[in-house]
Amino acid sequence: MARQSQTATAVLGVLSIEPATGYEIRQAMGSVLGHFWHESFGQIYPCLTDLEADGLVQGSPGERANSRRYGITAAGRTHLAGLLAESPTRQPPRNGTLLRVFFGQAQPPAALAALLESTEAEARDRLATFAAIRAELATEEEHVEHVPYWTATIRAGELAAEAQLTWVAETRAALTPPATLPEP
Amino acid sequence: MARQSQTATAVLGVLSIEPATGYEIRQAMGSVLGHFWHESFGQIYPCLTDLEADGLVQGSPGERANSRRYGITAAGRTHLAGLLAESPTRQPPRNGTLLRVFFGQAQPPAALAALLESTEAEARDRLATFAAIRAELATEEEHVEHVPYWTATIRAGELAAEAQLTWVAETRAALTPPATLPEP
DNA sequence: CCAACCATGTAAGTTGTTACATGATTAA
DNA sequence: TTAATCATGTAACAACTTACATGGTTGG
């Protein structure tokens, strides 16, 4: 069996777009997809070996010495469709920010304020990044068929980041002791 | 050193609210907190042992045979404040739904439609659960000091779920081939 | 020629889940 | 009395990260 779990899905998915080396698969996780899915070298290379053993991908010597470029096989495409059809196994929740808010009573107000601050900064950062990616996608020529799907993915990130900004604003108002009112 | 990572934070945090057995800590993860943080027995019990060895919690025989109830010590409270002040280590992204959308081209349209369907159902479910929790929190008498923080936590969940519903609606419109128009 | 990048792979370690083993207590 | 729940703990395993080891290639 190919290495289970969704690593195989991610690797096959990337190869379904175009052939790539392990290094390039990792790079794919560094750009658009990387905001929603992560794999490290330590997973990718063994996974490629397993997938090739199962005939789901086909490796061939790459243009550089010692490099190997993998393409997806017909069996691989079928297998990928099957994997994608499985309902996603949601990872157990581990939200460090909300863990800290939940135990807000156990820390000084300043710590919470700093947490909200950095949450906000991060959300703004992500929005800027997504805007840039969106602009890039609009001028994409090579993979036009994929653009609607990639755009939808990015859109999910945008909406999540916007929700986060709303939350920060609301929470700041609710948890920050209101300043003394200016005299009338 | 106590077992690192945020397991200790979660366990100390729960004990900072009130003393509990390992079983009860696990139960805490089953209700409000459980929607944002998860720990399994296999983590909790060893962690409690480590924390006690470090003098951060203090166990005493519980009301049942073989049961042990832990309370947080003064040193534990200080340590917890320190842990909470560290900026949250965000877990590497692994969004199974968005992985599938990103590779939308590799699957039949019906599979994507089903995915959106179940994403929507899940978001609605979560909203209903959060509404129920919110109602419960409003009548909470025992831990009034914590209620604002717990409410803020729930609110984050609500906003995220609402963002997901928006995303589903938008994505359905963008990716579903429009039905043939009714005749005028 | 040197820094940056392309490229692969493994080994060790950490983290976490699951299943199992065990048994007490409570409520129907 | 029997099922559900309370309660603890461990062992096996799965998943993943990190660091290391190695070396080719490209561009300034």
Same domain, B47 and B9: yes
In this structure, is residue A182 part of a structural domain? no
- The pTM assigned to this predicted structure is 0.93
Beta bridge partners of A72: A57
User: Across the interface, do A106 and B16 touch by the CB < 8 Å criterion?
Assistant: yes
Q: How far is CA B136 from CA B37, B145, B151, B153, B154, in A?
A: 20, 15, 10, 14, 12
Which residues are CB-contacts of A53 (< 8 A; sequence separation ≥ 6)? Answer: A2
- Where does the pLDDT of residue B3 fall: very low under 50, low under 70, confident under 90, or very high at 90 and above? very low
CATH number of the structural domain spanning residue A57:
1.10.10.10
* Domain final position from A84, A119, A134: A84
Closest to A70 in 3D by CA, of A40, A50, A42: A50
pLDDT in tens, B61-93: 988 888 999 999 999 999 999 999 999 988 899
B71 plus B106 within the same structural domain: no
Percentage of chain B beyond pLDDT 70 is 93
**Which distant-in-sequence residues (6+ apart) come within 8 Å of A23 by Cβ?**
A67
The verdict on residue A89 lying in a domain is: no
* Most A CBs within 10 Å, among B142, B144, B153, to test the A interface: B153
**B17: closest CA among B1, B5, B33?**
B33
pLDDT tens, residue by residue, B32-50? 999 999 999 999 999 999 9
pLDDT at B178 over 90: no
- Total tally of structural domains belonging to chain B: 2
Q: Is A177 left (phi over 0), alpha (psi -120 to 50) or beta?
A: beta
Classify residue A47: in a domain, yes or no.
yes
> Based on the domain organization, do A101 and A72 belong to the same domain?
no
Q: In this structure, are residues A70 and B79 in contact, taking their beta carbons and an 8 Å threshold?
A: no
C-beta of residue B44 within 8 angstroms of C-beta of residue B25: yes
By C-alpha distance, which of A168, A171, A95 is closest to B36?
A95
Measured in angstroms, what separates residue B160's CA from nucleotide D21's C1'?
44
Chain A CB contacts of B37 under 8 Å are 93-95, 98-99, 102
pLDDT at A35 over 80: yes
pLDDT at A179 over 80: no
| A118 lies in the same domain as A78 | no
Lowest-pLDDT choice from A50-54, A105-109, A175-179, B96-100: A175-179
Q: What is the pLDDT of residue A140?
A: 84
- What is the model's pLDDT at position B63? 81
Token digits of residue A77: 């495409």
Across all residues in chain A, what is the average pLDDT? 92
Per-residue pLDDT at B181? 62
Q: Which domain holds residue B58?
A: 3-84
**pLDDT tens digits, B103-123:** 999 999 999 999 999 999 999
